Amino acid sequence: MGHRIALNFEDGVTRFVEAREGETLADSAYRERINIPLDCRDGACGTCKCHIESGAYDSGSYIEDALTDEEAASGYALACQAKPRSDMVVAIAASSEVCKTAGQTIAGRLAAVERLSPTTIGFTVDTPAPVAFLPGQYVNVTVPGTDQRRSYSFSSAPGAASVSFLVRDIPRGVMSTWLRDIAAPGATMELVGPSGSFYLRDVTRPVLLLAGGTGLAPFLSMLARLAETGAAHPVHLVYGVTNEADLVALPALEAFAAAIPGFTFATCVAAADSTHERKGYVTDHTEPARLHGGDVDIYLCGPPPMVEAVRAWLAAEGIAPVHFYFEKFSPSGAVTAIGQAHRSAA
């Protein structure tokens, strides 16, 4: 029985390979012509050191100079020695280009375009085969009839034969104009990816999700996965928009709240003249208890000013979360930054 391995490279490109029983990570990748850097195959040089984000494996044999006990305890392994015992997510300490691979190109067809709010458009693409990605990742979409690409997070669950996205409707936006004025079902769509290090990790402590506008999209994908797997710890989402009419996918969030034990959510609206019950920003409506004194993993997706505001708020609260994963995006649909911060062990 084989295992599906997600190889996530330093430049954010992710490739999936199948590991055969008893096969090392390096051999699984090489079989797919993905060259993970290594200088030996004996666990002696440490060149192929990688970080196991999730999954079970046999670490194999190696010498201390190649991998220390402290590194092994922190989830590091040698690709030339580690043998998967389950599906895994592996961070590779090299770019996809160095490993002689790249994002996959997927040719699909536009299935539907839906006006979700005055500022938000949703669209769905049918693909020839189910698309593998990590919940929270994005793909680069070519705007039909142009040579321009825009980056959009999947709002649908991995593994389906169709994929969905949310787009902010900008009056002169290249993609939103095409979707609004030109698009018709059946149009050819080209997707390249998946990409990004902003994706759902194993839920090993309470989780706080903070979404701004169409930054809700990756969280819909994450929640769809949690609806399948469950969560051993509470998960809370605070979803903020500028105007109440901008709130979308509320029925889906209600369905997730019913399907995922321990999942709750709240919405808020920034406009001063709003009649919404919670006015202000996501930081105004995140109760201190949701921070669990710092024993929390925080995921944040929104425009750059929101990311910086949340950083400042956490500092003012004196909270250093165990993990802080964030994705910034511009109104045009381009991902401007993806990052993560870890609390110091000290």
What's residue 161's pLDDT?
86
Task: Count CB-CB contacts under 10 A for residue 295.
Answer: 13
Instruction: Check: CB of residue 43 under 8 Å from CB of residue 78.
Output: yes
Q: How far apart are CA 136 and CA 222, in angstroms?
A: 6
Residues 6+ apart with CB under 8 A from 242: 213, 269, 270, 271
What's residue 160's pLDDT?
87
What's residue 103's pLDDT?
86
What's residue 334's pLDDT?
53
Q: What angle do CA 151, 323, 286 make, to 5 degrees?
A: 85
**CATH hierarchy code of domain 207-342:** 3.40.50.80
From 312, 301, 99, 73, select the one nearest 200 (Cα to Cα). Answer: 301
**CATH hierarchy code of domain 104-195:** 2.40.30.10
Q: Report domain extents, the chain.
A: 3-92, 104-195, 207-342
Residue 66 corresponds to which amino acid?
A
Q: Which residue matches tokens 């050819």?
A: 188
Task: Count CB-CB contacts under 10 A for residue 53.
Answer: 17
Residue 312 corresponds to which amino acid?
A
* Token pair in block for residue 153: 């997070």
| Residue 94 to residues 51, 65, 180, 196, Cα–Cα distance (Å) | 12, 20, 40, 14
* Token pair in block for residue 274: 């709003």
- What angle in degrees, to the nearest 10, is found between the helix axes of 217-229 and 250-259? 20
pLDDT in tens, the chain (346 residues): 689 999 999 998 999 999 999 999 999 999 999 999 998 888 999 999 999 999 999 999 999 999 999 999 999 999 999 999 999 999 999 999 999 998 889 999 999 999 999 999 999 999 999 999 999 999 999 999 998 999 999 999 998 889 999 999 988 899 999 999 999 999 999 999 999 989 999 999 999 999 999 999 999 999 999 999 999 999 999 999 999 999 999 999 999 999 999 999 999 999 999 999 999 999 999 999 999 999 999 999 999 999 999 999 999 999 999 999 999 876 655 555 555 655 433 3
**CATH hierarchy code of domain 3-92:** 3.10.20.30
What's residue 346's pLDDT?
31
Task: Count CB-CB contacts under 10 A for residue 90.
Answer: 27
Whole-angstrom Cα Rg for the chain = 21
Residues 6+ apart with CB under 8 A from 338: 12, 196, 197, 198, 326, 327, 328
